[in-house]
Every structure is written in structure tokens, then in C-alpha cells.
């Protein structure tokens, strides 16, 4: 070669063993896939992750990387130009990239197990290792057949692209596997929820909505509405007990608080105070229940809804608990419910009441913001009650125009009717609460409103008080039925 060319360095052999280098032992591709995989892993770990810092040491590691004794070298001057070395290194890196691509294919073929793909990848790795070995021999024998650096870069980029494609397929396979696992787990969860609901139906008959699972709009009947009504009333009574506990803890005069709800009705016994508070809560929660939008401006779009849309919302929301509704994803259903929840809370729980119970208005201010909601037992009890009333409202309008539905209550002084009313005190006397023959019983206040669904009448629960009913020309003048 021309002596004017810039000198470089090469290795001079000092000793050569008679044994063949390990690369020559990889001629056979008939070994088992697992044995090949282990051999390739050891070789590639040395080839792809050199621990030397400079090019000369890296070349030295290629020469001495075999596990058996081979050769030992030392630097002596040579006349390779920088362009030739650049071309050599380009070919070397192209081969390394090809080995990486083949190794990635080998890993991908392990799961699911593909013997043909494993053999193909194994052959590709062996071929590239031979090419590297040929480059090494040519380097020391001064017989290198070098390609252009641009061609080497193209081959390297092609191998890198193949590696990325294989990695992408691997990731897609992992995603598909995770999706399959997710579908399986969801199926198991659905079955477990179904079993839980069956157990709830047995343990708490009439107190859950489990009996409405699988309900279709065409099969909707008054019995389903009665089930939802009982479900809502149970939550109202639970919140009444919670409110009474806070009143007692805050030092309220309980009799005075009950009389303030219905001033003109005589409180016959302290045990009847819960009826007063239950009436107060029902009066607010069922206010404008007969309107699709609860007479709330931000729910006006619901006036255009038909029975199908109300039923779909009922079925979508009935299986969600209150935390899922408040913390889950935002959609039209949950947003409107949250607005309803906030409006009812601010209407029912006055500032003075909350300040007396908790010493501050933090919960009220948080609810006003509509960004987050308190996690207290007090608010969660109220929110669960609101959820059940909301579901009842959805079911109420699911009956449509062809099946007439209505809600009614009785004003103070209305004459007691066993057809339309149920005396809340009858439970205390085992159903033996009788109306005296010499005086008529009249309504003190309505505790829970009544409903009419088609031809089915659900009685209103009322608290009775004594009073003489005045009739003029056969008409009752001191009572009113709405």
C-alpha cells in the first residue's frame, strides 16, 4: 500500500493454538433451540456490550472474546487509512445491528414457541458472526473487501428498523395478552357481582336493586318501582338516624327541632321525632319529583327525554356505588347527578345546621365548588340517599306516557283514608291503630309521599293527629288532597 497513507495499527500474532476458534464450531444449525439460545446469549453479551473505551481495545475484545484459548496480539504499525477504517467499522456496526435484529427475533419466537422462527433467527446470527469473523481475518491478512460507508449505513439502518418492527410486534403481543387477561378478569368480576347480588337478595329482601338486574323496558311493571321506592326510603331513614346523632352530639333540643318542622302538629311521644325529620327530608328530596328536570335550570335538557333514555340511565347507574359516581369518569349522567346532589344538599343542610354540627362550613364550601366532594360519613350518607332518589326518578319516567304515573301527598287536616294512606303509627301497634268512632282522625303531615303507577296505588305514609273534620254541604273543607 502507498507509504504516504496515514499509519494505523494492527495486531501481530505471537502465538496460535491448534484448536479452531469457537466461531467455527457454530457451523451446525441442528442443535436444540434452547442450547443455541444459551450459547448465543453468552457470545452476544460479550459482542454487544464491550467494556473497553477505545476502538483498538474494542477490536482486541472481538479477537479474544471466545471462551477457549485462541490467540494473543500486540499493536504494530500498519498503513490502513482513516477512510478504510471508517468503512470497516461501518460494516462491523451493520453486522452488529443485524445480530441484534436476529436476536430480537429469537426472543420473540420463544413465546409462543415457534421452532421454525427460532431456527431462522439462529441461522441469521451465525451468518453475521461468520461475517464478523471474516472481517477480522481480512483485517489481519490485509485482504479486506470493503464496501462503501453509505452502503454499510443503509444495512445498519435496515437492521435497526427490523429490530424496531420485531419489538413493536412483541409489544403488540403483550398488549393482546393483557387485553385477554382483562376480559377474563372482567368476566370473573361480573360473575362474582352476580353472586353477591343473589346473596344480597336473600339476606336483605326488598332492600337492594339486585332483583332488577337484567330488566328490560318492555318488562317494567309497578313491582319494580315499589322495589326501587323501598330502596330509596331505606337510605332516607338511614340519613335521618345520622342527622339525629349529630343533633344530639351538638346539644340540640330534639323536641323543639321536631316541632319546628311541623309547628301545628302535636308531638305525642319523643319516639315520634324521627317521623318529623323523615318528613322534612322527604319534602325536600321529593320536591318537584313530578318534573323531568326537578324544576332545576341546569337539568332543562331532560325535559326532552323519552322513557327509553330515562331507563337507560337507570340501568347504567344502578350498579355504580356513590364513590364510583363521584370519582369516576365524567359523562352527561354523572355531571347532571352531581349538580342535583349539590343543589339538594345546599337546600336541605342550612349553614347554621352545618356550623352547629361541624364547627365550620368546609363541607358546604367544597360542595359549592363542584370540583370535589367530602369523604365524610355525613356527606356520603346524604350522597347515597340522593343517588337512590335519582334512580327512583329515572325509573318513574321510564314508564312513559302510555302508563300514567303520579306522585301525591296530603296536607295537614286531610281526612284519613285507608285507601290512599298508611298510618306510620300502625307499625307500633302491630297494625291495630284504629280510628275512634266518635272523632275523625286527620293528617298531621305526610311522611313519605304516595305514588300511582298505572292502576297500582302505593299508599302515602302519614302521621295522624286528632281533630274534628268539618263538612259543609257534603264537602270536606279543612283538608286538601293533591
Mean pLDDT of 421-439: 61
Domain boundary pick from 157, 173, 189? 173
How many helices (H) does the chain have, and how many strands (E)? 14, 10
Query: Residue 471 pairs with which residues in a beta bridge?
Result: 476
**Lowest-pLDDT range, 38-42, 227-231, 422-426?**
38-42
Do 383 and 428 share a domain, yes or no? Answer: no
**Lowest-pLDDT range, 25-39, 163-177, 278-292?**
25-39
Mean pLDDT of 367-384: 92
In a domain, 293, yes or no: yes
Confidence (pLDDT) at 129: 84
Q: Give one DSSP letter per residue of 23-71, joined into a string.
A: GGGG----S-HHHHHHHHHHHHHHHHS---SSHHHHHHHHHT-SSS--E
Query: Residue 431 pairs with which residues in a beta bridge?
Result: none
Q: Could you tell me the pLDDT band of residue 57, with boundaries at 50, 70 and 90?
A: low
Phi, psi of 360 (to 5 degrees): -155, 180
Confidence (pLDDT) at 45: 55
In a domain, 416, yes or no: yes
Share of the chain above pLDDT 70, in %: 75
Q: Could you tell me the pLDDT band of residue 299, with boundaries at 50, 70 and 90?
A: very high
Count: domains in the chain: 3
Confidence (pLDDT) at 440: 63
In a domain, 351, yes or no: yes
Is the per-residue pLDDT at 476 higher than 50?
A: no
Do 462 and 361 share a domain, yes or no? Answer: no
Do 376 and 411 share a domain, yes or no? Answer: no
Do 51 and 154 share a domain, yes or no? Answer: yes
Average pLDDT, the chain: 78
Is the per-residue pLDDT at 13 higher than 60?
A: no
Do 418 and 293 share a domain, yes or no? Answer: no
Do 266 and 388 share a domain, yes or no? Answer: yes
Is the per-residue pLDDT at 114 higher than 90?
A: no
Q: Could you tell me the pLDDT band of residue 76, with boundaries at 50, 70 and 90?
A: very low
Confidence (pLDDT) at 467: 57
Q: Could you tell me the pLDDT band of residue 365, with boundaries at 50, 70 and 90?
A: very high
Please give the distance of CA 11 from its chain centroid, rounded to a whole number: 64
Phi, psi of 262 (to 5 degrees): -130, 85
Residue with the larger pLDDT of the pair 105 and 473: 105
Q: Give one DSSP letter per residue of 372-415, joined into a string.
A: ----SHHHHHHHHHHHHHHHHHHHHTTSTTTS-EEEE-B-TTPB
- What grid cell was written down for 138? 481480512
427 CB neighbour count, 10 Å cutoff: 11
Is the per-residue pLDDT at 461 higher than 60?
A: yes
Confidence (pLDDT) at 249: 96
349's enclosing H/E stretch is none
Is the per-residue pLDDT at 436 higher than 80?
A: no
447 CB neighbour count, 10 Å cutoff: 26
**Lowest-pLDDT range, 171-175, 419-423, 426-430, 449-453?**
426-430
Q: Highest-confidence range of 61-70, 129-138, 472-481, by mean pLDDT?
A: 129-138
In a domain, 157, yes or no: yes
Confidence (pLDDT) at 58: 47
In a domain, 199, yes or no: no
Confidence (pLDDT) at 453: 95
Mean pLDDT of 336-342: 94
Do 223 and 134 share a domain, yes or no? Answer: no
Residue with the larger pLDDT of the pair 62 and 36: 36
Residue in the structure block whose three cell numbers are 346539644: 251
Mean pLDDT of 330-359: 92
Domain boundary pick from 173, 198, 220? 173
Mean pLDDT of 78-98: 77
Is the per-residue pLDDT at 477 higher than 50?
A: no
State the Cα–Cα distance between residues 192 and 138, nearest whole angstrom: 69
State the Cα–Cα distance between residues 99 and 47, nearest whole angstrom: 10
Length of the chain: 482
Domain boundary pick from 376, 399, 422? 399
pLDDT (tens digit, 9 = 90+) per residue, 116-169?
A: 878 888 888 888 888 888 888 877 777 767 777 777 778 778 777 877 887 787
Please give the distance of CA 221 from its chain centroid, rounded to a whole number: 32
Mean pLDDT of 242-265: 94
Confidence (pLDDT) at 471: 40
Mean pLDDT of 398-423: 91
In a domain, 146, yes or no: yes
Range of the domain at 476: 404-482
Do 287 and 164 share a domain, yes or no? Answer: no
Confidence (pLDDT) at 331: 79
Is the per-residue pLDDT at 475 higher than 80?
A: no
Residue 64 and residue 71 in contact, taking contact as beta carbons nearer than 8 Å: yes
In a domain, 17, yes or no: yes
Is the per-residue pLDDT at 7 higher than 70?
A: no
Question: Model pTM greater than 0.95?
Answer: no
Residue 197 and residue 205 in contact, taking contact as beta carbons nearer than 8 Å: no
- What grid cell was written down for 308? 327509553
Helix then strand then coil, in percent of the chain rounded to 5, is: 60, 10, 30
Do 218 and 81 share a domain, yes or no? Answer: no
Confidence (pLDDT) at 175: 87
Q: Give one DSSP letter per residue of 270-337, joined into a string.
A: GGGHHHHHHHHHHHHHTTTTTSTTTT-GGGGGGGG--HHHHHHHHHHHTTS-HHHHHHS---HHHHHH
Q: Exposed/middle/buried for 322, CB within 10 Å: 0-12, 13-18, 19+?
A: buried
pLDDT (tens digit, 9 = 90+) per residue, 203-225?
A: 765 556 777 777 899 899 999 99
Q: Could you tell me the pLDDT band of residue 312, with boundaries at 50, 70 and 90?
A: very high
Q: Could you tell me the pLDDT band of residue 43, with boundaries at 50, 70 and 90?
A: low
- What grid cell was written down for 153? 449505513
Mean pLDDT of 464-471: 60
Do 340 and 408 share a domain, yes or no? Answer: no
State the Cα–Cα distance between residues 252 and 410, nearest whole angstrom: 29
265 CB neighbour count, 10 Å cutoff: 20
Q: List Cβ neighbours of 472 (8 Å cut-off, separation of 6 or more).
A: none
In a domain, 204, yes or no: no
State the Cα–Cα distance between residues 421 and 104, nearest whole angstrom: 78
Nearest Cα residue to 66 out of 123, 23, 110: 23
Do 377 and 319 share a domain, yes or no? Answer: yes
Q: List Cβ neighbours of 248 (8 Å cut-off, separation of 6 or more).
A: 254
State the Cα–Cα distance between residues 57 and 63, nearest whole angstrom: 10
Q: Could you tell me the pLDDT band of residue 357, with boundaries at 50, 70 and 90?
A: very high
Confidence (pLDDT) at 342: 95
Do 225 and 136 share a domain, yes or no? Answer: no
Amino acid at each position: 500500500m502507498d507509504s504516504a497513507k496515514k499509519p494505523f495499527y494492527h495486531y501481530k500474532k505471537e502465538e496460535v493454538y491448534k484448536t479452531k476458534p469457537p466461531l467455527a464450531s457454530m457451523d451446525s444449525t441442528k442443535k436444540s433451540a434452547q442450547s443455541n439460545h444459551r450459547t448465543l446469549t453468552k457470545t452476544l453479551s460479550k459482542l454487544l456490550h464491550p467494556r473497553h473505551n477505545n476502538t483498538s481495545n474494542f477490536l482486541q475484545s472481538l479477537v479474544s472474546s471466545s471462551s477457549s484459548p485462541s490467540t494473543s496480539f500486540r499493536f504494530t504499525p500498519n498503513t490502513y487509512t482513516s477512510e478504510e477504517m471508517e468503512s470497516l467499522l461501518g460494516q462491523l456496526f451493520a453486522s452488529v445491528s443485524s445480530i441484534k435484529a436476529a436476536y430480537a427475533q429469537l426472543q420473540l419466537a420463544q413465546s409462543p414457541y415457534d421452532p421454525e422462527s427460532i431456527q431462522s433467527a439462529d441461522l441469521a446470527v451465525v451468518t453475521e458472526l461468520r461475517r464478523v469473523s471474516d472481517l477480522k481475518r481480512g483485517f489481519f491478512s490485509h485482504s479486506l473487501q470493503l464496501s462503501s460507508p453509505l452502503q454499510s449505513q443503509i444495512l445498519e439502518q435496515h437492521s435497526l428498523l427490523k429490530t424496531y418492527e420485531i419489538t413493536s410486534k412483541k409489544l403488540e403481543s403483550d398488549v393482546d395478552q393483557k387485553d385477554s387477561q382483562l376480559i377474563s378478569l372482567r368476566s370473573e368480576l361480573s360473575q362474582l357481582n352476580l353472586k353477591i347480588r343473589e346473596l344480597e337478595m336473600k339476606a336483605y329482601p326488598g332492600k337492594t336493586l339486585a332483583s332488577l338486574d337484567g330488566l328490560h323496558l318492555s318488562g317494567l311493571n309497578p313491582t319494580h318501582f315499589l322495589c326501587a321506592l323501598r330502596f330509596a326510603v331505606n337510605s332516607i331513614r338511614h340519613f335521618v338516624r345520622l342527622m339525629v346523632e349529630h343533633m344530639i352530639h351538638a346539644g340540640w333540643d330534639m323536641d323543639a327541632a321536631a316541632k319546628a318542622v311541623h309547628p301545628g302538629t302535636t308531638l305525642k311521644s319523643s319516639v315520634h321525632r324521627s317521623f318529623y325529620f323523615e318528613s322534612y327530608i322527604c319534602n325536600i328530596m321529593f320536591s318537584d319529583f313530578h318534573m323531568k328536570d326537578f324544576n332545576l335550570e341546569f337539568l332543562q335538557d331532560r325535559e326532552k327525554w323519552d322513557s327509553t333514555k330515562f331507563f337507560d340511565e337507570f340501568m347504567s347507574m344502578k350498579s355504580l356505588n356513590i364513590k364510583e359516581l363521584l370519582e369516576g369518569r365524567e359523562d352527561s349522567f354523572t355531571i347532571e347527578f352531581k349538580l342535583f346532589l349539590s343543589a339538594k344538599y345546599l337546600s336541605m343542610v342550612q349553614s347554621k345546621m352545618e356550623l352547629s354540627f361541624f364547627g365550620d362550613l368546609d363541607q358546604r364550601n367544597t360542595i359549592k365548588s363542584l370540583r370535589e366532594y367530602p369523604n365524610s360519613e355525613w356527606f356520603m350518607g346524604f350522597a347515597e340517599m340522593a343517588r337512590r332518589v335519582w334512580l327512583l326518578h329515572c325509573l318513574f319516567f321510564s314508564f312513559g306516557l302510555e302508563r300514567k304515573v303520579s306522585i301525591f301527598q296530603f296536607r295537614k287536616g286531610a281526612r284519613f283514608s285507608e285507601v290512599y294512606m298508611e298510618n306510620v303509627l300502625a307499625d307500633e301497634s302491630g297494625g291495630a291503630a284504629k280510628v275512634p268512632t266518635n272523632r275523625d282522625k286527620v293528617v298531621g303531615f305526610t311522611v313519605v309521599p304516595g305514588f300511582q303507577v298505572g292502576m297500582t296505588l302505593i299508599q302515602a305514609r302519614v302521621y295522624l293527629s286528632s281533630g274534628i273534620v268539618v263538612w259543609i254541604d257534603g264537602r270536606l273543607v279543612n283538608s286538601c288532597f293533591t
